[in-house]
Amino acid sequence: MTRASDHSRDPCPYVIFSDLGASFAMGAIGGGIWYGIKGAKNSPRGEGLQGAVTSLKARSPVLGGNFAVWGGLFSTFDCAMKGIRQKEDPWNSIASGFLTGGVLAARGGPKVALSSAAFGGIFLAVIEGLSIVVSRAFADQNRPVMPQLPEVAPPAGH
Protein backbone atom coordinates (compact mmCIF):
# COMPACT_ATOMS: atom_id res chain seq x y z
CA MET A 1 0.00 0.00 0.00
CA THR A 2 1.64 3.17 -1.08
CA ARG A 3 0.12 5.95 0.89
CA ALA A 4 2.25 8.63 -0.65
CA SER A 5 -0.02 8.80 -3.65
CA ASP A 6 -3.20 8.05 -1.78
CA HIS A 7 -5.13 11.28 -1.80
CA SER A 8 -8.19 9.80 -0.17
CA ARG A 9 -6.45 10.01 3.19
CA ASP A 10 -5.78 13.26 4.94
CA PRO A 11 -2.16 14.40 5.08
CA CYS A 12 -0.10 13.64 8.07
CA PRO A 13 -0.91 15.45 11.26
CA TYR A 14 -4.60 15.50 10.36
CA VAL A 15 -4.84 11.83 9.57
CA ILE A 16 -4.41 11.18 13.30
CA PHE A 17 -7.83 12.67 13.99
CA SER A 18 -9.58 10.85 11.20
CA ASP A 19 -7.90 7.58 12.18
CA LEU A 20 -8.89 8.10 15.78
CA GLY A 21 -12.49 8.70 14.85
CA ALA A 22 -12.58 5.81 12.40
CA SER A 23 -11.10 3.49 15.01
CA PHE A 24 -13.65 4.59 17.58
CA ALA A 25 -16.49 4.02 15.11
CA MET A 26 -15.09 0.64 14.18
CA GLY A 27 -14.83 -0.45 17.79
CA ALA A 28 -18.17 0.99 18.81
CA ILE A 29 -20.12 -0.45 15.88
CA GLY A 30 -18.34 -3.78 15.95
CA GLY A 31 -18.63 -3.93 19.70
CA GLY A 32 -22.29 -3.00 19.47
CA ILE A 33 -23.02 -5.97 17.26
CA TRP A 34 -20.70 -8.25 19.22
CA TYR A 35 -21.99 -7.42 22.69
CA GLY A 36 -25.57 -7.19 21.47
CA ILE A 37 -25.43 -10.80 20.37
CA LYS A 38 -23.51 -11.81 23.48
CA GLY A 39 -25.94 -10.07 25.80
CA ALA A 40 -28.93 -11.63 24.08
CA LYS A 41 -27.33 -15.04 24.31
CA ASN A 42 -26.44 -14.76 27.97
CA SER A 43 -29.83 -13.48 29.08
CA PRO A 44 -32.60 -15.62 30.48
CA ARG A 45 -35.42 -16.51 28.11
CA GLY A 46 -37.77 -13.66 27.30
CA GLU A 47 -35.35 -10.94 28.35
CA GLY A 48 -33.03 -11.26 25.41
CA LEU A 49 -33.61 -7.79 24.01
CA GLN A 50 -33.17 -6.08 27.35
CA GLY A 51 -30.03 -8.06 28.06
CA ALA A 52 -28.69 -7.21 24.63
CA VAL A 53 -29.29 -3.49 25.12
CA THR A 54 -27.81 -3.47 28.61
CA SER A 55 -24.67 -5.30 27.59
CA LEU A 56 -24.32 -3.21 24.43
CA LYS A 57 -24.66 0.07 26.28
CA ALA A 58 -22.20 -0.97 28.95
CA ARG A 59 -19.50 -2.47 26.78
CA SER A 60 -19.44 -1.13 23.25
CA PRO A 61 -18.36 2.47 24.10
CA VAL A 62 -15.52 1.01 26.14
CA LEU A 63 -14.41 -1.13 23.24
CA GLY A 64 -14.67 1.87 20.94
CA GLY A 65 -12.48 3.82 23.34
CA ASN A 66 -9.89 1.06 23.39
CA PHE A 67 -9.87 0.93 19.60
CA ALA A 68 -9.60 4.71 19.43
CA VAL A 69 -6.61 4.77 21.77
CA TRP A 70 -4.88 2.13 19.72
CA GLY A 71 -5.70 3.72 16.38
CA GLY A 72 -4.86 7.25 17.45
CA LEU A 73 -1.58 6.34 19.07
CA PHE A 74 -0.66 4.15 16.12
CA SER A 75 -1.39 6.92 13.68
CA THR A 76 0.60 9.37 15.78
CA PHE A 77 3.62 7.08 15.77
CA ASP A 78 3.16 6.44 12.06
CA CYS A 79 3.27 10.16 11.33
CA ALA A 80 6.27 10.57 13.62
CA MET A 81 8.05 7.77 11.74
CA LYS A 82 7.26 9.40 8.43
CA GLY A 83 8.59 12.70 9.73
CA ILE A 84 11.76 11.25 11.20
CA ARG A 85 12.68 8.74 8.52
CA GLN A 86 11.37 10.73 5.54
CA LYS A 87 10.29 7.44 4.02
CA GLU A 88 7.02 5.59 3.65
CA ASP A 89 7.42 1.85 3.82
CA PRO A 90 5.97 -1.08 5.77
CA TRP A 91 8.60 -0.65 8.49
CA ASN A 92 6.92 2.58 9.54
CA SER A 93 3.72 0.86 10.52
CA ILE A 94 5.49 -2.16 11.99
CA ALA A 95 7.55 0.09 14.22
CA SER A 96 4.44 2.10 15.07
CA GLY A 97 2.58 -1.04 16.03
CA PHE A 98 5.48 -2.12 18.19
CA LEU A 99 5.68 1.26 19.91
CA THR A 100 1.92 1.51 20.36
CA GLY A 101 1.72 -1.89 21.97
CA GLY A 102 4.64 -1.04 24.19
CA VAL A 103 3.35 2.34 25.29
CA LEU A 104 -0.14 1.09 26.04
CA ALA A 105 1.18 -1.69 28.26
CA ALA A 106 3.92 0.43 29.80
CA ARG A 107 2.28 0.43 33.21
CA GLY A 108 2.55 -3.32 33.44
CA GLY A 109 6.33 -3.21 33.64
CA PRO A 110 9.01 -3.81 31.03
CA LYS A 111 8.24 -7.48 30.54
CA VAL A 112 4.54 -7.00 29.88
CA ALA A 113 5.27 -3.95 27.75
CA LEU A 114 7.76 -5.86 25.65
CA SER A 115 5.39 -8.74 24.99
CA SER A 116 2.56 -6.38 24.13
CA ALA A 117 4.91 -4.45 21.86
CA ALA A 118 5.95 -7.67 20.16
CA PHE A 119 2.30 -8.51 19.63
CA GLY A 120 1.68 -5.10 18.08
CA GLY A 121 4.69 -5.44 15.83
CA ILE A 122 3.71 -8.94 14.69
CA PHE A 123 0.14 -7.82 14.11
CA LEU A 124 1.15 -4.94 11.89
CA ALA A 125 3.79 -7.04 10.16
CA VAL A 126 1.12 -9.61 9.26
CA ILE A 127 -1.17 -6.91 7.93
CA GLU A 128 1.55 -5.22 5.90
CA GLY A 129 2.85 -8.52 4.57
CA LEU A 130 -0.63 -9.58 3.55
CA SER A 131 -1.35 -6.29 1.85
CA ILE A 132 1.87 -6.68 -0.14
CA VAL A 133 0.89 -10.23 -1.09
CA VAL A 134 -2.62 -9.16 -2.08
CA SER A 135 -1.41 -6.22 -4.12
CA ARG A 136 1.08 -8.49 -5.91
CA ALA A 137 -1.67 -11.00 -6.60
CA PHE A 138 -3.97 -8.39 -8.06
CA ALA A 139 -1.23 -6.42 -9.76
CA ASP A 140 -1.85 -8.12 -13.09
CA GLN A 141 -5.56 -7.50 -13.02
CA ASN A 142 -5.46 -3.79 -12.60
CA ARG A 143 -2.13 -2.78 -13.91
CA PRO A 144 -1.67 0.96 -13.59
CA VAL A 145 -2.64 2.59 -16.82
CA MET A 146 -1.39 5.92 -17.95
CA PRO A 147 -4.42 8.18 -17.61
CA GLN A 148 -5.34 9.88 -20.83
CA LEU A 149 -4.93 13.52 -20.16
CA PRO A 150 -7.63 15.49 -21.90
CA GLU A 151 -6.36 18.36 -23.95
CA VAL A 152 -7.45 21.43 -22.11
CA ALA A 153 -6.46 25.00 -22.49
CA PRO A 154 -5.21 26.40 -19.19
CA PRO A 155 -7.96 28.18 -17.32
CA ALA A 156 -8.24 31.85 -17.93
CA GLY A 157 -6.38 34.06 -15.55
CA HIS A 158 -3.30 31.86 -15.24
Partner 1 sequence: MEPSKFERAKVGAMMGGAVGLCIGFVIGGYSLMRYGPGQRGYVDTLARTMVSTTATFSFFMAVGSVIRADDEGRAKIPIEWYHEKDRARAFRTPPVVILQQLQQQQQQQ
Name the residues that contact partner 1, by CB under 8 A: 7-8, 10-11, 13-14, 17-18, 22, 25-27, 29-30, 33-34, 119, 122-123, 126-127, 130-131, 134, 147, 149-153, 155
Give min distance, CB of 96 to partner 1, in A. 16
Q: State which residue, 1 or 47, has the beta carbon closest to partner 1.
A: 1
Shortest Å, Cβ 29 to partner 1: 5
Cβ proximity to partner 1: between 25 and 80 the closer is: 25
| Smallest distance from partner 1 to CB 89, Å | 19
| Closest CB to partner 1 among residues 91, 123 | 123
* In the complex, least distance from residue 144 CB atom to partner 1, rounded to whole angstroms: 13
Cβ distance to partner 1 smaller for residue 50 or 62: 62
- The 3-state secondary structure of the chain, one letter per residue: CCCCCCCCCCCHHHHHHHHHHHHHHHHHHHHHHHHHHHHHHHCCCCCHHHHHHHHHHHHHHHHHHHHHHHHHHHHHHHHHHHHHHCCCCHHHHHHHHHHHHHHHCHHHCHHHHHHHHHHHHHHHHHHHHHHHHHHHHCCCCCCCCCCCCCCCCCCCCC
